[in-house]
Amino acid sequence: MTQFLFNIVGFDLDGTLLDTSGDLAAAVNHALTSVDRPALSVEQVKPMIGGGARHMLKQGLTATGGYDEAMLDTLHARLLAYYEANICVLTRPYPGVVDALNALAAKGVTLGIVTNKIERFARTVLGELGLIDRFACILGGDTMSESKPSPMPIHEMVRQCGGGRAAFVGDSIFDIQAGQAAGLPTVACSYGFLMQPVEDLGADAVIDGFDTLIPTLEKLGA
């Protein structure tokens, strides 16, 4: 068997491995409706995901009438409390994700996660889905002093995963910029929570589903 050319593959979480949109939209709407703002659809919330909960809430408030910092602080706390209590109601792995993770592990690849989600939330949802033990490293948006698009957490992921040749897979501009700044080949997911057309992200490759992830990585590693 030909040796796989990446020692490490890192992933974003929301919109890449997991479809968290239903639970995140519910949390945003809990915060919005608590101050008599209109609820947003899941499709409206999807492009707001990727920069962390506060960033998502800012966009939701802007779309429904604006905000000041005091309101943002209050509603951010409200959103987080609701989300933590309802973190895995609708959330599921995307089709093909579990099979692809199994296949990568069988090839001896070490897997890591770098997300802008709060680390304890990332660990909770992965634990509830039975996936947490698959990852040697889980870094959240609050784990380090900087989050994506900074390359700092990508470098730390590589270090914690034992070093070696690595690639990073994500769905947002934050993911691709962070991976590129860290000097890693990047793969963008066209099905994720896109803020712009996937072609505009500038990734080294694009996948429409996890069934093509390993062949895509093999081409990038060649």
Q: Which residues form the catalytic set?
A: 12
The position carrying tokens 């943002």 is 72
What amino acid occupies position 105?
A
Distances (CA, A) of 210 to 11, 62, 119, 170, 207: 12, 34, 24, 12, 7
Cβ atoms within 10 Å of 202's Cβ, excluding its own: 12
Rounded to an integer, what distance in angstroms lies between the CA atom of residue 220 and that of residue 155? 19
Distances (CA, A) of 131 to 1, 15, 84: 27, 16, 18
Is residue 195 within 8 Å of 50, Cβ to Cβ? yes
CA 7 and chain centroid, separation: 21
Vertex 118, ends 121 and 180: CA angle to 5°? Answer: 125
